[in-house]
Amino acid sequence: MPNEKEKKYDRQLRLWGNHGQQALEDSQICLLNATATGTEIMKNLVLPGIGGFTIVDNDVVSMQDVGNNFFLTEDFIGSTKAQAATKLLKELNPDVKGVAAEESLATLLEKDPEYLCKFSIVIACDVEEDTLLSLSNKLWEKNIPLMVCISYGAIGYMRLVFKEMCVVETHPDNYFEDFRLLNPFPELCEYLKTIDIDALDSKGHSHVPYLVLLHKYLEEWKEQNGGEPPKVYKEKKKFAAFLMSKRRKNDKGACLDEENFEEAYKSVNTALVDVAVPRDVKEILEHENCTNLNSDSKPFWVLCQALKRFVDEHQTLPLSGSLPDMFSDSASYIKLQNVYQNKAKQDMICLMDNVSKVYADLGCIYDNGRMSEAEIKRFCRNSRLLKVVRTKSLEVEYRQTAPSDDVTQSFHDNTSDILWYVALRAAQKFRKEQRRFPGIETLEGDLKPLKDCSEKLVGSWGVPQVQLAALDDRLHEICRYGGAELHAIASFLGGVAAQEAIKLLTHQYVPVVDALIYDGIKPSTTAFRV
């Protein structure tokens, strides 16, 4: 029976589970600047129940702010934005602790250079370039993710900065179960031997699970084809026809409409794929974080080495054991499912054993405190889907003499959203030099200096100074905005960014790498590498 908290969070627990929720509740988030974007991100983190947050924003609430920010009201004019936003955000969820920092970011960091290092994630909205770089380097060193989020008129920009994110539960939309058709394990072979399809009556025949049909007829096919399974498309088509020819016939000699055979036919192309160890997983297992463990290594990498030893021994990943539903009588399906699940259990025990051995080799003792059995189970079940992603550091992004291919190619595409990234970087340079948003007073007056900033930036990348009308148009538009923050755009970005933060906290679902532009004009979103 669910308790009050489980009832409240029911709709989201179905997406990231109790363990994901625990990760959220263990987290502390720091927001730098209570812009409309910033407070919207926080709203979407407070509601699902993060542990706590701190807002750093010493600016005083003005009437202008009240117009586009749900968490800054007239009552708070004269108070700091941090105070106002913290109070109104806390109201959304009594489970969440919120604190308004008393001082400016500069003062806080002066007093304690490690101030930001006690947080799980730092979200920087509208932080000046030099300060941002400096705090980014600190956070990078400490392996704390940084998110940079800003809305400018109709444009939103989000940048994720983290060294490494290891995702076990990616929850892919499209997922094909591991049937082991091409390399059936002994227990499965034994079970299949006990089934004599031809001896079944008509009801039994039409209720054989399609997976059994695939296994049985594949074996027959192999016997007739020199021991080889169908590999190319043409062969698979022949096999599918072969399969269908095994349907029972009626008195007139026409094939019966057996649903299990239909299911088998439809699955031939995807089921007959050799998926021993996917390339992504191979790369992970060969990475030095896995092969060169030390006592500080993250549990994920310890698990990877345990997995690597498993793969070296068995030439395959552990069986996940799950099967899709298939048209069948209950008993046949359950029996088949049990065969797969028992094997999965066996593999799990083997992996757990490896985990102990890996820890032993590191000079540690494995116990439940280091890594729960549930965690190992989840890793085991998802071993085919593991993903490790890494972003570029802000330092490299700002110092590089050549940007990513994504950015370079945008110069050849007038419609590319990534040109907004270039325009925003130019605007940030402008702000550093002029200490204000471009266009805040005059569009025409600021456009030239903004273009100069852009040329310098693009020049530093070695991109030839070709007249780029598309980029100029965007610079003009940025100037036109004069630093305006539209609530709808801030709210869109607030939703996107909050979900990315949740991915980083729960280590579930694959995050954006490295950045995203939201163009509210088209509208469109583009994720890209900086």
Q: Is 3 in the site for other proteins (CB under 8 A)?
A: no
Q: Is 123 in the site for other proteins (CB under 8 A)?
A: no
Beta strands in 277-336 (DSSP E): none
Residues 266-295 that bind other proteins (CB under 8 A): none
Q: Which is nearer to other proteins, 305 or 337 (CB)?
A: 337
Q: Which is nearer to other proteins, 5 or 237 (CB)?
A: 5
Which are the contacts of 148, defined by CB distance < 8 A and separation ≥ 6?
Answer: 124, 125, 127, 132, 157, 158, 159, 161, 394
Work out how close the CB of 232 gets to other proteins at its nearest, in angstroms, rounded to a whole number: 29
Residues 417-476 that bind other proteins (CB under 8 A): 439, 443, 473-474, 476
Distance, in Å, from the CA atom of 258 to the CA atom of 267, rounded to the nearest integer, reads 15
Work out how close the CB of 413 gets to other proteins at its nearest, in angstroms, rounded to a whole number: 16
C-beta of residue 388 within 8 angstroms of C-beta of residue 170: no
Q: Is 202 in the site for other proteins (CB under 8 A)?
A: no
Work out how close the CB of 254 gets to other proteins at its nearest, in angstroms, rounded to a whole number: 22
Distance, in Å, from the CA atom of 440 to the CA atom of 497, rounded to the nearest integer, reads 26
Query: Which of 97, 118, 142, 171 lies at the binding interface for other proteins (CB under 8 A)?
Result: 171
Residues 31-90 that bind other proteins (CB under 8 A): 40, 43-44, 47-49, 62-70, 73-74
Q: Is 252 in the site for other proteins (CB under 8 A)?
A: no
Query: Which of 3, 111, 114, 173 lies at the binding interface for other proteins (CB under 8 A)?
Result: 173
Work out how close the CB of 345 gets to other proteins at its nearest, in angstroms, rounded to a whole number: 12
Distance, in Å, from the CA atom of 498 to the CA atom of 132, rounded to the nearest integer, reads 20
Q: Which is nearer to other proteins, 120 or 305 (CB)?
A: 120
Give the distance, in angstroms, between the CA of residue 510 and the centroid of all CA atoms in the same chain: 1
Q: Is 348 in the site for other proteins (CB under 8 A)?
A: no
C-beta of residue 121 within 8 angstroms of C-beta of residue 505: yes
Distance, in Å, from the CA atom of 393 to the CA atom of 163, rounded to the nearest integer, reads 7
Query: Which of 35, 161, 477, 530 lies at the binding interface for other proteins (CB under 8 A)?
Result: 477
Residues contacting other proteins: total by CB under 8 A: 89
C-beta of residue 494 within 8 angstroms of C-beta of residue 44: yes
Q: Is 328 in the site for other proteins (CB under 8 A)?
A: yes
**487 is written with which tokens?**
């609530």
Q: Is 256 in the site for other proteins (CB under 8 A)?
A: no
Give the distance, in angstroms, between the CA of residue 86 and the centroid of all CA atoms in the same chain: 28
Q: Smallest Cα–Cα separation from 370: which of 301, 286, 319? A: 301
121-124/387-389 β-pairing: unpaired
Distance, in Å, from the CA atom of 147 to the CA atom of 439, rounded to the nearest integer, reads 26
Query: Which of 29, 307, 388, 498 lies at the binding interface for other proteins (CB under 8 A)?
Result: 498
